[in-house]
Structure 1
C-alpha cells in the first residue's frame, strides 16, 4: 500500500492546541491533484500544504495550498507553518540549511525568514506577501450585516467602507463597533451564498474578515474570519487576511513614508487564540511591503495510506 508522510503544526501560537491547525505533506511527489484535494478534505483543516521540488533551483520548494474544497494561490498561516516544518527538516530535496526560504506558489514567489531558538530549532517564521495591495469592490453594509447576523448599525465606516482587499488572496473586510459586537457575529450560510453570487461569482469564494480596534491600542486588533462556502465556518487565524487588512489600513494613513507594526488577535471565540504580527511599509505614498509573522508549535506526525 502506498503511503505519504505528514506532520501537523499549530500556527500563530507557541502553545499546542491553540492557533490555527495546519497539515504539511513535506514530500508530495507522486500525488495527483485529486489526491491532494482528497487529503485536504480528509483533514478538514482550513488548509493543507503539499511540498514539491522547485522548478527553479534558486528557490527552496514549490508549495501548493488546498482548502477542504479548492486550491488557493496563497495563504498566510500555511506559509508560516510550512516554513517552520521545512526549516526543521532541511534535508528535504537536498536543500541547504538556511534562514531564508523561497516558495514557488500560484500567487508568485513567497519569501520566508526563519527565527531560531537558543538550540537552533526553528521557533517562528515570517513571510513577505507575494502581491501588492489591491482593493476591489466595495461591499454594501446590508450584505455584511446579513452574512454576520448583525445589526447594520454595528458596521463602522469612519476609516473605510466594507471592501474586498488582497495581498495574494481576496477577503471582504469590515470594521465593527466593539468587542461585544464582534463576539456576537455568526455566519449565515444563505447570506454568504448570495454574497458569493453577487461579489465573487467568477473569483474566489466569498470570505468575510471582521475586526475591531482595542481602545487602549489602535494597532492591536481583534478579528474573526468566516468562509462557510469553503467549508470553513470560522478560521482561528488568517494570515493572508491580516496582511490585507494591515496593508489597507496603512494605505489610508496620510503619511507617505511610514512603517506600521500591527498585532491581530484571532480565534479567541473558538478557544484557539492566535497572535499574528503584521508589519507594513509605505514608501512614496504606496504600500511597498507586507510581512506576516508568528510562532509555531509541532503537534503530530504520521502516515497517510493511499
Structure 2
C-alpha cells in the first residue's frame, strides 16, 4: 500500500510533568493500515505501546482503538486508553455524551470520564485465579524476593494478564533487581506494597510492573495492572475506596494513578494526567 500522511501524537500518561510518566504513540486516522503495518510501526517506535485510532464498529462507541506492543497486540491496556482518549479529544473528537467517552477495543466497550482535569477509565471486569505453587516459587526466586516478604498472590486478568504479588515492604519492593531473562518465560508480574515513609508523598501504595514476556523489562506506569490491583485490594478490604498509587520510582519516573470506587455503582475508576509531548504527521 502506498504511504499516506496521518496525524501523529506522542503523550506522557499518568503524569502532569513531561518525561515522568509512561509514553504513548498514537496514530490518528489509521484506516487502511494492515495488521502487519501496525505491528511494524509499533516495533519501530519501540515504546511499550502504540495505538491506532479507527472509526467504531459498535454504534455505542465514540472511537475504536487497537493497541500494539513491539511484539504483539493487546486487547486492553490502561495507559493507552487514557492517552488515546486524550489524543482523540485533542484532535476534535466529539463524544455522544459530554460527560463520558466510550472507547471500543479488543475486550469491548470501556467508558472513560472526565474527572476534573484528568481522564479516568472504568476498570474492566476482573478474573482472579490462584497461582500454581511451582510457578509462584519460580517467580519469587527470579524477582529476588525473600519468600517471607510475600503476603499473597493471584492471577489478575482484565484482558491483560498478570501475576499479582502483594508484599510487606515498599523499600524492599523498590530495591528488587529481577532477573528478567528468568521472568521472560514465566509471566508478567505486578508487585504492590503499602507505601512507607521513604516513598512518594501523598501516595498510599507503590507498584512495579515487570513485563519481560512482551519485551518490556519494567513498565513505567501500568493502568491495566493498577485497575486489577485496585479491584483486588479494595475487594479484599486491603485498600480504601479512594487512593493514589505511585509507579516508576526506580526508573526515575513519577507516575501517579488515581483510584476511586464509586459508592453507588461500585465501579472502580482509574485516572491520571496526560501530558502532550509531540504533535505532527507521519507517512505510513
Task: Please confirm whether the aligned pair reaches a TM-score higher than 0.5, indicating the same fold.
Answer: yes
Q: Return the offset for 1:300.
A: 0.5
2: distance between equivalents of 1:164 and 1:252?
15
Match of 1:252 among 233, 236, 248: 236
The answer to whether residue 170 in structure 2 is matched with residue 179 in structure 1 is yes
- Contact in 2 for aligned 1:50/1:65 (Cα 8 Å): yes
Q: Which residue of 2 aligns with 1:269?
A: 250
2: distance between equivalents of 1:115 and 1:11?
15
Q: Secondary structure at the match of 2:163?
A: strand
Aligned length: 277
- Contact in 2 for aligned 1:266/1:274 (Cα 8 Å): yes
Q: Which residue of 2 aligns with 1:203?
A: none
Q: Secondary structure at the match of 1:36?
A: helix
1: distance between equivalents of 2:210 and 2:220?
10
Q: Which runs of 5+ in 2 are unaligned?
A: none
Q: Secondary structure at the match of 1:153?
A: helix
Match of 2:208 among 205, 211, 224: 224
For residues 253-282 of structure 1, give each alpha carbon's deviation from its aligned partner in whole angstroms, at most 9, with x where no partner exists. 29xxx9701211001111111000112357
- Contact in 1 for aligned 2:185/2:213 (Cα 8 Å): no
Tell which deviates more after alignment, 219-228 or 139-148.
Answer: 139-148
For residues 207-254 of structure 1, give each alpha carbon's deviation from its aligned partner in whole angstroms, at most 9, with x where no partner exists. 111111024799710111011121111111001100101101122129
Q: Return the offset for 1:95.
A: 5.8
2: distance between equivalents of 1:137 and 1:250?
18
1: distance between equivalents of 2:236 and 2:95?
41
- Contact in 2 for aligned 1:259/1:281 (Cα 8 Å): no
Q: Secondary structure at the match of 1:111?
A: strand
| TM-score in terms of structure 2 length | 0.88
The answer to whether residue 156 in structure 2 is matched with residue 154 in structure 1 is no
Q: Return the offset for 1:96.
A: 6.1
RMSD of aligned alpha carbons: 2.5
Q: Return the offset for 1:59.
A: 1.6
Q: Return the offset for 1:289.
A: 1.9
2: distance between equivalents of 1:53 and 1:26?
10
Q: Secondary structure at the match of 1:64?
A: strand
The answer to whether residue 137 in structure 2 is matched with residue 125 in structure 1 is no
Q: Return the offset for 1:89.
A: 1.9
